[in-house]
Amino acid sequence: MEKEIFIEYWKVSKSFRDIKAVNELSFTIFKGDIYGFLGPNGSGKSTSIRMLLSLISPDSGTIRLFGKDLSFHRYQTLSRIGALIEKPDFYKYLSARKNLEILARISKVKNISRKVDEVLDLVGLLPRADSKVKTFSQGMKQRLGIAQTLLHDPDLIILDEPANGLDPQGHKEIRMLINTLTTEKKITLLMSSHLLNEIEESCNRMIIINKGSKVVEGEVKSLLNTEEMNVEFSLDDVTKAMSAISQTQWSNYFYYTEGSSLFFKMNQKEIPELATFFIQNGLKIFSIKPLRTLEEYFIKLTTDDRAG
């Protein structure tokens, strides 16, 4: 059974005078995805999201939402989307409840009181519903912003830098909330972020864009496992370890030593084999630390000349 396509970008381009902000960009988001949207500053992420929300129009190409062309079905498609772009903005001297009630009336939400309590409870702010927003931490404001996107029961939520400016506890709260939205509420999510570890921990699929063009798109785990990773082996005897690998194929993977650690470039599936080799040669392994991260992958792709 084919997956239902929620968002389809097809060769979308946008220029601002002589600057090509987005260049024939194509990507697909399926129902149920937690989709990461990555790119360095100036890569075209914000422009792409604004075109998706019909805040600006593309010069060429097609954007389809829920199978319908956005150009001809703007209201019908956008009514199924909730979005939090940049930081949330509320009336600071009103309570969280009052702010959401105002927004619910604008969106013509039915049973406003019940719905406001429901979304506040979902984001963990019901106990502070009657507190003024000016007393909220940045993390609480961010969660209130997400509550705002939920008022009209959207099928898809777009979050632009949801963990921006948050402390570690705030990051954790947003990550847990995203998990709740996608697993319990079955909401599809598009998340733009420069915090690469957030994408790695939260998303199942992602796209990396650079200079307005797609560099790569696919499953997060698959993309991170396709190439060599750096692996750090912490051992009890580095000299003995170096001697053991000197006449083997493992010497071709070795590239660096520091303190009690040896560093190798290798495929993930080869890690257990090397660990077994060390044990069979009488070495104790204190730790094995794969260093292949989304950040390394991102930097490699966006600094490669082929990415331009």
Q: What is the pLDDT of residues 231-244, one digit of tens each?
A: 889 999 999 999 99
Asked: is 228-291 a CATH 2.60.120.460 domain? The reply is: no
Domain ranges in the chain are 5-224, 228-291
Q: For residue 306, what pLDDT band results from cuts at 50, 70 and 90?
A: very low
Q: Residues 257-278: what's their mean pLDDT? A: 88
- Residues in contact with 143: Cβ distance below 8 Å, sequence separation at least 6, in sequence order: 123, 124, 125, 173, 174, 177
Q: Is the pLDDT of residue 223 over 80?
A: no
| Token couple for 236 | 């009890």
Q: What are phi and psi of 289, to 5 degrees?
A: -125, 100
Of the listed ranges 7-16, 70-79, 148-157, 297-306, the least confidently predicted one is 297-306
Query: Whole-model pTM?
Result: 0.75
The answer to whether the CB of 250 falls within 8 A of the CB of 230 is no
Q: Tell me what the pLDDT averaged over the chain comes to.
A: 88
Distances (CA, A) of 80 to 34, 124, 152, 199: 16, 23, 8, 24
Q: Name the amino acid, one letter, at 267.
A: N
State mean pLDDT over 45-59. 94
- The class of domain 5-224 in CATH terms is alpha beta
Burial degree of 234 (CB within 10 A; 0-12, 13-18, 19+) = middle
What's the angle, vertex CA 163, arms to CA 301 and CA 33, rounded to 5? 65
Which tens digits make up the pLDDT trace of 135-183?
A: 999 889 999 999 999 999 999 999 988 877 777 787 888 888 888 898 8
